Amino acid sequence: MALGPAHFARGKINTDVYKVLSVENSVASRVSFGGTAPRNVAREAARWLKLLAKNAK
């Protein structure tokens, strides 16, 4: 994604914005219920693995 000419307005926005707006940071910021943050995914995976193991007995 290219930054348009307005992004350098007053020198406050520069190419460092890509560090904040990366795909990884976007995914990690989804921390609400059902969100895609790695912590959420790990928690849900553990919960489902436990449930599946319990039901396999």
pLDDT digits (tens, 9 = 90+) for 9-50: 666 777 787 778 888 998 999 999 989 999 999 999 999 999
**pTM tops 0.85:** no
CB atoms within 10 A of CB 36: 13
Residue 1 pLDDT greater than 60, yes or no: no
Beta strands in 1-57 (DSSP E): none
Q: What is the pLDDT of residue 2?
A: 61
**Three-state secondary structure call for residue 35:** coil
**Cα–chain center distance at 17:** 16
